[in-house]
Amino acid sequence: MKKFLILSTFILSSVFVEAQDSADAQNVEEVTVVGSRSEARSPQDTFSPVDVISGSEFQNNGDTDFANLMRNLVPSFSVNDQPISDAASIMRPANLRGMSPDHTLLLVNGKRRHRGSVLTWLGAYISDGAQGPDVSAIPASAIKSVEVLRDGASAQYGSDAIAGVINFNLNDNSEGGFLEYRYGQYGEGDGEQSYLMGNYGLPMGDGGFFNTSFEYGSQDATVRAVQRDDAAGLIADGYQGVPDPAMPWGRPIVDDDLKAFFNFRAPMGGGEFYGHGNYNTKHVDGTFYYRNPTNRGAVYSNDGGETMLIGDLTPNDGQTCPTVAFTGSTPDPVAWAAVQADPNCFNFQELIPGGFTPRFGADVEDRSVLLGFDGEFENGMTFDFSYYYGYNEADEFLNNSVNASYGPNTPRDFDVGAEQQEENNLNADFTYQYSDTIFVAFGYEHRTEEYSLVAGQPESYLDGGLATQGFSLSSNGYPGFPAAAAGSWQRENDAVYLDYENDFSDNLRLGAALRFEDYDTFGNTSNYKFGFNYKFSDELGARGTFSTGFKAPTPGQANARKVSTVFDSSGDLVNEGVIPSTLPLAVLYGGKVLQPEEAENISLGFFGSWGEVDFTADFFRIVVEDRLVVSANFALSDADIADLIAQGVPGAGDFPTFRYFTNDFDTKTNGFDLNASFETENNGGTTYWNASWSQNKVEITDAGANIDALAEQSFKGVTPDDRGNFTANHFNGNWRVLGRASYWGEWFDTWQNAYLGSPGQFGATWVFDMEVAYDMGNSSVMMGINNVFDNVGDK
């Protein structure tokens, strides 16, 4: 994980700009609209801490992935590379304040954005089963600013806003724009990245605008693996076709990554017609674990490599196939020759003698559109009516694999089906300035959310005839979704809310929010929030909130059907199945209708200035009860397996145990966020300094029945407790020089601990980045190196 995040990268960027001044961008007044429905305020006038990041800061960072850019600029935001992580390689999970990816709500121009279609299954516990949004679908070229509200906000925005809210404000220029090309590569000589991006604005009506943005490019894979010992041994023993490395470990391939956004607003009638939308497609291709040709269960051997698994292709002819024993990795030559000479007998060493490493990925499509009309009534009350549609699909594939039950007739590449997420939101929002000091907002929201499974090709889940002889009966590594499992599951909910803010004096402002939501699945929930902002003087103030929140289980989580290949406690690869908690078999073992996770948030902060330094210090506690987790494994009987096959569960018959989602454990997260910024005049120019530090400590307060010692350690340490960013950005005439130091605290690697037997604890480390840019008027050139000193951390 972290060892890949800090590998050396070289980025070369050429930028062509109209009417853009980088130094002026540093002085843009920071205002925030997230967390309050009153007029835009400075971050120091809010009840909760809000980071405001200008679009120029994203464009002045070399990475091409927006999630990585967020990580570089917001210490409380964490995202990792995901080698061999099933769907997490397609849509990387991102964590805010050490919470689950779907504990953070994403907004675009203040409107809720849809979640991704895939569930994260190999997310080191903290992200397991999460169904969060796909941050990478947003191009940096589309961003005017980003607001990160680091506080619970379910009472204001609804489900998912437990860790906080991230609001993306889109570019709204009505003229000019830029075109930019970025190229980069890792110091190891791989991971080549190439992206073209741009933005352009046009006037629309009297005072309106139509602004468009795009990015297009690709990213090659990285490999940070050494050859496996077993694969090296096979090569030494004379096996042909053993891949080297047998199990690549690193970033996946991303091809044809197209991201486009539009944003518009124009006067119409007694108000303004506005909207935005996006379209994103990409092809993601990553690797899985290596299948050893001597011991891979249900393919090459079914007794750990003592004997070969021999398929009798004509089982009713009265002839039997010989037993072939292994001596080390070498099969008995006489018996093995007899198998090879008999066309009715088969072992996969005849077809794939060196073993194989499946490749898993997806063709991803993401699109959305929002249309709205807002204005003001004669009495001063404002109105805002909007409709939003969002769609995300991952059309998944598994290549270089087998359905072993087909024997020599197996396909090697499979269409394993698709996951789809579709959302429709209808909003009516109103605000009213009752007096100079009292502000009221209220509104209504209707949401529908639908999760769908599309069946894969029949060979990815059907028995090809050899399943009764011990061969696996689905595409190995990722069984396809059967036709019987395909379908759509919808949920509807209605919400009403009320916000109230009162400036009791020039120094004191109080606020409250109340929200009621009714779901057609589990019932209703009510949440509230109280906040204050008090200024002791012009140099010092305090703020704080107390709120309740919730995260509703998604239709995808409630109807999950999945098989993952993982290591068991002895280090062997095994299949684990996940079924809906409401299937009769799951109910028999304790499954129930999923309920919302419930949270309480407390924050207390101070802000002000000390001389030329502006600072904020915010402390928080997040308590979450009834968190969703995948249950412990339950062993399947033959009757259970037959029942699952009849109900269309993918891969049923290939996994000996099953699990289901359940509300089971409680956590408490304590932490703080510190930030300081100032500017100095030096060396003939201006330097903008920023220092930020974030700490998140997670505690399991009730482990329930499904959180073991490994899970608890993972929750506590899989993301660093401490993160710091320290940046100096110097402007001098046409030159700009940026230096950034990033600190990563100790962290824990679940995979290393559970499957390699190592402690899994990795030490803290520093990473240093540098960038140099030169402005040539209508164009500029930027060069940079991430991780200047090639610090790879603990190995």
Q: Is-above-0.85 flag for pTM?
A: yes
* Neighbour count for residue 497 (Cβ, 10 Å): 21
- pLDDT (tens digit per residue) in 595-609: 999 999 999 999 999
| Contact assessment for residue 7 and residue 254, using Cβ atoms and an 8 Å cutoff | no
pLDDT of residue 781: 83
Is 681 exposed, middle or buried (CB count within 10 Å of its CB: 0-12, 13-18, 19+)? exposed
Q: Is the per-residue pLDDT at 20 higher than 70? A: no
Nearest alpha carbon to residue 394 among 616, 131, 180: 131
- Angstrom distance (rounded) from CA 758 to CA 170: 46
- Angstrom distance (rounded) from CA 231 to CA 566: 19
Q: Which domains does the chain have, with CATH numbers?
A: 2-309+347-786 (2.40.170.20)
- Residue 467 has phi, psi (to 5 degrees) of -65, -35
Residues 14-28 have a mean pLDDT of 41
pLDDT of residue 30: 63
Of 361-375, 617-631, 748-762, the poorest mean pLDDT is in 748-762
- pLDDT (tens digit per residue) in 183-214: 888 888 888 989 999 999 999 988 999 999 99
Is 207 exposed, middle or buried (CB count within 10 Å of its CB: 0-12, 13-18, 19+)? exposed
pLDDT of residue 388: 98
| Contact assessment for residue 137 and residue 579, using Cβ atoms and an 8 Å cutoff | no
Q: Is the per-residue pLDDT at 218 higher than 50? A: yes
| Contact assessment for residue 535 and residue 541, using Cβ atoms and an 8 Å cutoff | yes
Q: Where are the alpha helices (DSSP H) in 319-469?
A: 333-341
DSSP string, 159-201: TTTTSEEEEEEEP--SS-EEEEEEEEEETTS---EEEEEEEEE
pLDDT: which is higher, 340 or 189 = 340
Residues 429-455 have a mean pLDDT of 95
* Neighbour count for residue 506 (Cβ, 10 Å): 7
Amino acid at 66: F
| Contact assessment for residue 139 and residue 198, using Cβ atoms and an 8 Å cutoff | no
- pLDDT (tens digit per residue) in 235-261: 999 999 999 999 998 899 999 999 999
- Angstrom distance (rounded) from CA 367 to CA 422: 10
Q: Is the per-residue pLDDT at 563 higher than 80? A: no
Q: Is the per-residue pLDDT at 14 higher than 70? A: no
Q: How are beta strands 573-578 and 657-659 bridged, if at all?
A: parallel
Is 638 exposed, middle or buried (CB count within 10 Å of its CB: 0-12, 13-18, 19+)? exposed
User: With DSSP H G I counted as helix, E B as strand and the rest as coil, what are the percentages for the chain, rounded to 5?
Assistant: 15, 50, 40
Residues 135-147 have a mean pLDDT of 92
Buried/exposed 44-65: b ≥16 CB within 10 Å, e otherwise: bbbbbbbbbbbbbbbbbbbbbb
583 forms beta bridges with: none
Q: How are beta strands 540-551 and 597-610 bridged, if at all?
A: antiparallel
Residue 158 CA, distance from chain mean position: 20
